[in-house]
Structure formats: structure tokens, C-alpha cells
Structure 1
């Protein structure tokens, strides 16, 4: 490729330094005069043009194996070269190309038989009537060596139609005629009139970094009723060239006939609207309707490659004609000398996927960083969920590519770390990934984005059992009370039960804030005290007190974030058959048989003194039974 030098701005001298420098210069001149003769006698020979190309070895071949040369075909020119015995580093030799050929500018190494580079060749394209030529400069490689030579080759394009079967090369002081492939000279390229919308592109001959694009729409293939809107999206590695006479942007039309197409005569469309959007790499051209079905419409424009590029790099472009998409790709070819040949290549394809309720139509940017042919590069790849994949091509095998995503801002929520997946993809978990390029393979990378799920705040509650009243001291500590609960909400639907003992506490935690909890106690069966007095303990109406509030028969409350609701369940008691008193059962107005003033938590006849030890066992008091019976025996 052509290498450009960087211009340096000279630094102006400081004031007052002029006379001092003049005195120093005069002294140096005087001293230098003493050594001038000796210096001239030992100076190396001055570099001069030399004859190095063997004219008899110049050949022209097809790069695609065609039998005849067609206008704009790519051809390969090769020749043997040999440095003269008296050649020195810096000597040059030139090959002037036929007027029928042109070539892209660039440089390539001058290869030597057996390996090594003996210099560098610079390619200069045609400039008006000046023919294209190649200059090669010998390097220090030839110093002290004999018989230095090798093969010189490069690619050209046939740019002029001719019936001549030979073309003229300039070698040194003379010219030589070399036959073209085939037998028909350079023939016109068949160019049928397009019958459908299409997109194409090519590297501008003589300007390797400029790509010309054309989008063509026959009027009978688009909607004739309204405007024709052509939206062209070019590669992120390109910039639109605007305001240039050498590389113009044209919007024009011609009659839809083969004769007009062959003449290539276009009429400018002066009322077309052209809009450029550099940030999104878009060119939008609106041609006012109605669209004439008997015309062909074309938009022709140029882009500049703005990233380092090498032979094999491809640049893509997609055009939409009123919603009908067409794509094209242009590949940079080698200039000559085998630059980059023999190096296996591979590519990486990156596709965007989103998961969950991600906002639609977001645009994502991914930086791809790598070093290629000793040059560090960073490419910015635009991605959209469900959109086209972005591709990095022409990467030498073994190249390590680092991907880093810049996530767009969200109206609400937060991103999870990007997730990279694919064969050979190393996801570092910090929004970056690395991929090592494999020869002749495409590594497919899927880049997934999702929203972080916020943690739901939680809380809980505790439930403590208290037994009160005259019979509280007679209730065994192992007595079990059963409480049912339900916990419902957007994120929970649970139910279950607790078993409590007097003064015991249970509870639940990690309940989502907003959960509604309901508590209900199963009725407490009255207890017989197995002593000589045959007393019975009856339980009154249970009371749930939530956070110190007034008691109620059931509890209902809502869980709040980072809080624990304290619930106390109180069971009042009453002792019947107290010695020295007679307390006959009183009918319950509710018809349950329970004494008036107590909760109807027992069944019918729950206060009858004839309750047996079997009831005590059912209530978990079997362990107390032997002790109570022994106490009665002693009495």
C-alpha cells in the first residue's frame, strides 16, 4: 500500500540567534574546506537509474483465466529483474506501463529469489496523458552481493479499448511490445441495461483509498406514485466525500433503453433532495415523484477509507429503494510484489441479541481492537438487536481481537454485564471479550444484553403465644396451639401452619414487601386437670395483637421492607369445678354448648368433667399424665 509521510512544521529561530549562528557557520566552512578533498575521495557513488528488467521476460496474464481481455478486466504483469554488477543502494529502475493500462497507487517489496527484500517499488497511476509507471529503489541488501535478482509482478486494469494485440512497455531507454492474452486486443465490456434495482461499487483506479458506489433503479421497478427515497448505509470505516469535483455526488436519470445505456448519457435531477448523516453513515436521496417507469434513476457517489487497510479488506454498503434492500461489497486487491500473499486469513462476525424487556430501537457500539501487520487498529462496530451482523474480515490467523461494548443509556433500569458467546470466545465478565482469529474460518460471536433484575425488598413477622387468666398456671408448657397462615402477593402465594406452645415464638422472614398475611387459630380444646379437684380449663376467645394494636380474632397485615411485624396471640383461660363451688354449665346462646363469656373454641360438652386421659394424650400432655395420677393416688 502507499505510505504517506507526515509533514513537519519548521520551528522559527529564536531572536538574537542569527549572528551567533553566522559565526559558527563561518568557522565550520573554514574547517570543512581543509577536509573537502579527502571527503570527496571517499564518498560513495551517487545513486543513478539502472537497467534491471529483462524485457524478454515481461508477460501479461489474466487473473481470472479469461480467454480474451475485456474492458476493465484485471490483469497480472510479471517480469524478471536483476541488479547490475555495479549497482549500489539507492539505485532505481523503472517500468512504464502501456497507455491501455492503469493501476492503483501503492508500494510493494522487491522480492529476491530465495527470500529477502532487495528494495521497494512505488506504483504511480496515470495522470492525464502521463502513463502509469513503477519505480523500484534498491536497498542495502545488495551491498556485497552478486547476482541479486528476482521476480517482479503487479496488477493492472485494462482501461482502454483497442484492436491491437500487443501493448507497449517502456524499459530503460527503449520500448518493447508485449502480446495481450487472447487474440482480440481489449474488447468492450458487454453492459446490458439493468432490469432490476441493484447496488454496486469499485475502487477508483489510481486512488486506492476511494470507493465509488452506484445505486440504480429502473423506474418500472419502484413505486411510481410517490417519491423515490434511496437510503444508502455505508460501512463504518468509510466517510462520504462531499463537495469534490474529482469525486462528485450525482443524482441523474436516462431513458430506459439499451441505446441510452450504451451511450452513458445522463440528465441531472436538479430538484432531488440529498441529506447526509455522518453519525449514522447514511446518505438519503429523495427524488420527487411521480417516478417515470420509462426512465432509469441512479445515485453515484464516493467514499474515503478512513481506517488502515490491507489487500483483502472488504467494505460493505447497503441501499434501500423505497424499502427494497440491496447490498454490495468491495474488496481491496493486492497492488503487486506478493504483499500479504501466503498469510492465512480469517474473520469474525458479531451479532446483537437482547433478553427481557429491553427498550426497542437502541443502538449499540462495540470497539474491536487488534494489531494487524504490526499496526494497532480499533474499529467501531454499530449493532442493533435483530439487525445485521458486523464483520471483521481479512484478519491474519492468530490475531487476537478484543471486543469492548459501550452500552446506551436507559430510561429506566440498569444493564447486566454484556455476555459474549461463541466457539473460541473468551468472555472476561467485565464487558470485554477476546477472540483469536483462525485460518480460513469465520468465528461467530453473539453479544447478549439484558436488564438487571432489581432485588425485591423483604420483611417478615413473628408470632408469640401468651396464655392468660386464672388457668394459665395450670396449662402445661407442652400444650400445642395450631395457627394457620396465608401469605399472598404479586411474587408469592403461600399457606401453611405453625404449632406454638405457651410463651413460644415462631415467624417467617424474607417475604416480599407488600405481601398480605392472614393468621387464624384453630380452636383450643378445653383441658381437664387430672387432680383430686377434677378441674377443667376452658379457653376464651383468642386475640391477635399486631404491633401492639387492639386484639382481634384473626390477624391481617402487610409486610413492609426491612421490617419485622410483631404479632402476639393471647389465649385467655377460665377454671371450672373449683373446689367449694358449683358451676353448672351455662348454655351458649350460640348453641355450641360452651359457657357464656368464653369463645366457642371447644366442641359440645367441652366442659364436662368426664374428659378422660385419652383427650390429654391428644393434646400432647401424655407426659404429664403419670405425674398427675400419682399425685391423686397420694391424696
Structure 2
């Protein structure tokens, strides 16, 4: 007897049908949206997968999300790893046919992309979308700027969420003599004081965004930094070189530091920095949001059911034996009838017929023996 093994999960080719990116020409730091549609054949089984390969030009993608129908039923689970979104079907496909849906991811372009240069965003074999990043909005260099981005274990920018965020606070353009920063880290993070650094700008883009930064300044020599709980303070120049300008004419000073994420469920992380330039203090607030992803699915409920197999029930044949009757000629007499009636009353009526037949047989045998003796 052989047992049927469960079907192995299979990759479904061509399940992703369309991919679109909006806007067509986003700024370098604008949020963009990737929309995809998908459909699986009716032969799909729970555990089967299909995938969408994302281009390397996209950053800050989520690590996973769920796809549910309007009733809240789980249709598929999606996991984002190494730039590939893998969708795993659930038991929903066992009870539905014509299963299809959508997926939506919000993200940003990689910071290394050059404005004005066209890029072909290739989504595996499913689609190719060409975009041309714009310069982005002009940067107001009379005010301070602040932003954050994910970094990996080596401190390099990461295209997917990690447990580290690198924060940057940029000063207004110089020249000015002194500058100090007081930055308070919000909830869901821990400040890593040893990561604090500073450097000066070298070149700018057309929209006044810094294009290249100079070498790192020496801590405790060219700037000072200290931490108390969740608050970082830093200043330039140091007391021993108070006569040196903090920021030369037409340049920007950058403060950078890292935080460790302790609440991965938070949708955003907020920081507030106070920047004091030559005695004037202004605040700058940043709300660093996680990218989001979602999707929906639907299908026609499969009403076809196979009736259970019921084994036939056959009643065994009933055999009725015919009654055995013996006919014995008996002369009617009043005494015989009386005797049978009496036997019936005593329960001996069943023995009367055999007894009479046996008596007649004995008499016949005796008669035959007497006739033989006379003949001799």
C-alpha cells in the first residue's frame, strides 16, 4: 500500500501582471509608490509562491506585509529580502478560484542617483519603468536642515529597514563664528554617542543641496560632543581655538550621529534639534517615517463540493425453511381425537405421529417373520 505525499510548494511564473511607478520623475528625496497587480491560476496550492524583483535604485523598503481580502481573510504573506518580494499563498486558494490582487509599496530613490539622468527601473522579467530623477526642491540655506536614513552594520546606507538610523543636521551657510547643537532623540530609539561626527561641505548642486562633503573633523580637537541620556550636545570651535570661525563663507557644517532602534513596530521616529548660530537659536524637527506596503486580494468562492463516498449496505439474504410435514393415514376415531387433545394439553402432541408410525412398522415386521416360519 502506498501513501500519497503532499504536493511540494511551487513557484508560479508570470503571476505579476503589471507594475507602475508614480510619480514618473520624482525628486531625489521624494516618496514614490510602486503599484503591482497579480493573479494566480486555479491550480495554485497553499504554500505556492510568486515573486517581484525590485530594482536596486529603490531604498527604504519594508521587510514584509500581509495581503487580505475585504473580509479580512489572509490571502498571501509577502516578505522582502535582498530586493525580492516573495508572496506565499495561504489556504485561501483551496476554497477560492480566480484569485488575484494588488500590492503597493511606498519608497524612495537611492541617494546615489544623479538628478537629470534617466534610469531604467527593472522589476525582474515583469516590467521595466524609466524615470528621470529631478533636482528636488531648492534647499533653503538660511535655515538648518535635518534628515535620517537607514544604515547597515558597516555604517553604509541600507535599502531596507535595519536597527540603525543615521541622523544629519546641517547648519545654515556661513560665515559665522560659533555654532552649537542640542539634539534630543525621540521615543523608540537609543542614542549612540560614540558615533558623533562633523565635517564641512565642499560642493553644491544646482538646487543648493550639498553634493560632496570634506573629511571628518577631529573630535575634541576641531569640535566637542557629549551626551546626557537621550540628549546630544556638540559645538564648534573648541574653547582652545575660539578665534577660528565655525563655518567659513559659503560653506555648511554637518553634524552626524547614529541611533539604535529599540521599537521596530513604530511607524516613524522623531528628533528635535536646537541649532544656535552666533547666539541665535532655532529649532528643526524631523519625523523619519518607515516606508509602507500593503495589498489586497480577492477570489470567487468555490461552491463545488464533492459528495462523500458512502459504501453500499447489502442486507444478507434471509432464507426461510419450508416446514417439514409427515402424512400418516389414521382411521378417525373418537378415542384418537380425545387422546390427541389430551396430549396437546400436556405438550406431548408432537410425539404422537412418530410413535404410531413406529408401531405399525414393528407389526409389519412381525407378520413377515411368521409367514416365513410357516412356509418351512
Residue of structure 2 equivalent to 1:94: 51
For the aligned residues, what is the CA RMSD? Answer: 3.1
Among 286, 301, 323, which residue is 1:329 paired with?
286
Residue of structure 1 equivalent to 2:93: 142
Rounded Cα–Cα distance in structure 1 between residues aligned with 2:202 and 2:149: 27
* 1:347-369 residue CA offsets vs partner (Å, 9 max, x unmatched): xxxxxxxxxxxxxxxxxxxxxxx
Q: Confirm or deny that 1:318 pairs with 2:280.
A: no
Residue of structure 2 equivalent to 1:211: 165
Q: CA deviation at 1:334?
A: 4.5
* 1:605-627 residue CA offsets vs partner (Å, 9 max, x unmatched): xxxxxxxxxxxxxxxxxxxxxxx
* 1:389-445 residue CA offsets vs partner (Å, 9 max, x unmatched): xxxxxxxxxxxxxxxxxxxxxxxxxxxxxxxxxxxxxxxxxxxxxxxxxxxxxxxxx
Q: Secondary structure at the match of 1:142?
A: helix
Residue of structure 2 equivalent to 1:253: 200
Provide closer, same or farther for how the CA distance between residues 203 and 330 of structure 1 changes in structure 2, counting only shifts above 3 A.
Answer: farther
Contact 1:218 1:293 in 2 (8 A): no
Among 213, 235, 239, which residue is 1:286 paired with?
235
TM-score norm. by structure 1 comes to 0.39
Provide closer, same or farther for how the CA distance between residues 45 and 239 of structure 1 changes in structure 2, counting only shifts above 3 A.
Answer: same
Rounded Cα–Cα distance in structure 2 between residues aligned with 1:297 and 1:155: 31
Q: CA deviation at 1:219?
A: 6.1
* 1:33-60 residue CA offsets vs partner (Å, 9 max, x unmatched): xxxx74xx322111121125343x2222
Provide closer, same or farther for how the CA distance between residues 214 and 136 of structure 1 changes in structure 2, counting only shifts above 3 A.
Answer: same
Rounded Cα–Cα distance in structure 1 between residues aligned with 2:57 and 2:168: 25
Q: Confirm or deny that 1:275 pairs with 2:225.
A: yes
Residue of structure 1 equivalent to 2:348: none
Q: How does 1:131-530 map to 2 (within 5 A)?
A: 132-159=83-110, 160-161=113-114, 163-164=117-118, 166-170=120-124, 174-180=125-131, 185-189=132-136, 192=139, 195-204=141-150, 205-207=159-161, 209-218=163-172, 220=174, 222=176, 224=177, 227-241=178-192, 249-254=196-201, 262-270=210-218, 271-279=221-229, 281-288=230-237, 289=242, 290-291=244-245, 292-294=247-249, 295-311=251-267, 313-321=268-276, 324-337=281-294
Contact 1:272 1:285 in 2 (8 A): no
Rounded Cα–Cα distance in structure 2 between residues aligned with 1:331 and 1:310: 10
Q: Secondary structure at the match of 2:271?
A: strand
Provide closer, same or farther for how the CA distance between residues 85 and 70 of structure 1 changes in structure 2, counting only shifts above 3 A.
Answer: same
Residue of structure 2 equivalent to 1:45: 7
Contact 1:210 1:302 in 2 (8 A): yes
Rounded Cα–Cα distance in structure 1 between residues aligned with 2:149 and 2:204: 27
Residue of structure 1 equivalent to 2:351: none
Q: How many residues align?
A: 273
Provide closer, same or farther for how the CA distance between residues 255 and 45 of structure 1 changes in structure 2, counting only shifts above 3 A.
Answer: closer
Rounded Cα–Cα distance in structure 2 between residues aligned with 1:285 and 1:338: 44
Rounded Cα–Cα distance in structure 2 between residues aligned with 1:274 and 1:49: 56
Q: Secondary structure at the match of 1:265?
A: strand
Q: Greater relative contact order: 1 or 2 (C-alpha under 8 angstroms, separation 6 or more)?
A: 2
Rounded Cα–Cα distance in structure 1 between residues aligned with 2:205 and 2:236: 23
Q: Confirm or deny that 1:109 pairs with 2:59.
A: no
Contact 2:165 2:260 in 1 (8 A): yes
Q: Secondary structure at the match of 2:171?
A: strand
Q: CA deviation at 1:337?
A: 0.8
Residue of structure 1 equivalent to 2:42: 85
* 1:168-205 residue CA offsets vs partner (Å, 9 max, x unmatched): 211xxx3532354xxxx22343554x533414123424
Structure 2, gaps ≥5 residues long: 151-158, 297-376
Contact 2:202 2:212 in 1 (8 A): no
TM-score norm. by structure 2 comes to 0.62
Contact 1:103 1:123 in 2 (8 A): no
Provide closer, same or farther for how the CA distance between residues 310 and 215 of structure 1 changes in structure 2, counting only shifts above 3 A.
Answer: closer
Q: CA deviation at 1:142?
A: 2.0
Contact 1:237 1:315 in 2 (8 A): no
Q: Secondary structure at the match of 1:143?
A: helix
Rounded Cα–Cα distance in structure 2 between residues aligned with 1:54 and 1:273: 53
Contact 2:193 2:232 in 1 (8 A): no
Q: How does 1:119-134 map to 2 (within 5 A)?
A: 119-124=76-81, 132-134=83-85
Provide closer, same or farther for how the CA distance between residues 261 and 154 of structure 1 changes in structure 2, counting only shifts above 3 A.
Answer: closer
Rounded Cα–Cα distance in structure 2 between residues aligned with 1:328 and 1:72: 17
Structure 1, gaps ≥5 residues long: 1-36, 126-131, 340-635
Provide closer, same or farther for how the CA distance between residues 208 and 188 of structure 1 changes in structure 2, counting only shifts above 3 A.
Answer: farther
Rounded Cα–Cα distance in structure 1 between residues aligned with 2:42 and 2:36: 19
